[in-house]
Amino acid sequence: MGNDLPVLISAAAIDRRVTELAEAIDEDHADAGTLVLVGVLKGSFIFLADLARRLRIPHRVEFIAVSSYGSLESEQPGAVRLLMDVRHPIAGQHVVVVEDIVDTGSTLDYLLRLLAARNPSSLKTCSLLHKPERTKADVTIDYLGFTIPDVWVVGYGLDFAERHRTLPDICELPPDRR
Encoded one letter per residue, x for contact with ligand IMP by CB under 6 A and - for no contact, window 67-86 reads -x------------------
Give, for 23, the enclosing helix (H) or strand (E): helix 11-28
Q: Report, in Å, the least distance between residue 103 CB and Mg ion.
A: 9
Which of Mg ion, ligand IMP, none does residue 158 bind to, with CB < 5 to 8 Å depending on kind?
ligand IMP
Q: Is residue 100 a contact residue for Mg ion (CB under 5 A)?
A: yes
Range list of β-strands (E), the chain: 7-9, 35-41, 59-68, 80-84, 94-102, 122-130, 143-147, 153-154, 170-172
In whole angstroms, how large is the CA radius of gyration of the chain? 16
Neighbours of 49 (CB within 10 A): 13
Q: Report, in Å, the least distance between residue 73 CB and ligand IMP.
A: 18
Encoded one letter per residue, x for contact with ligand IMP by CB under 6 A and - for no contact, window 107-146 reads x---------------------------------------
Q: Which of 39, 43, 145, 155 binds Mg ion (CB under 5 A)?
A: 43
Q: Is residue 43 a contact residue for ligand IMP (CB under 6 A)?
A: yes
Active-site amino acid positions: 103
Q: Which of 36, 38, 106, 164 binds ligand IMP (CB under 6 A)?
A: 106
Q: Which stretch binds ligand IMP (CB under 6 A): 9-17, 83-91, 98-106, 118-126?
A: 98-106
Strands ordered across the beta sheet of 35-41: 80-84, 59-68, 35-41, 94-102, 122-130, 143-147
List of residues contacting ligand IMP (CB under 6 A) = 43, 68, 99-107, 152-153, 158
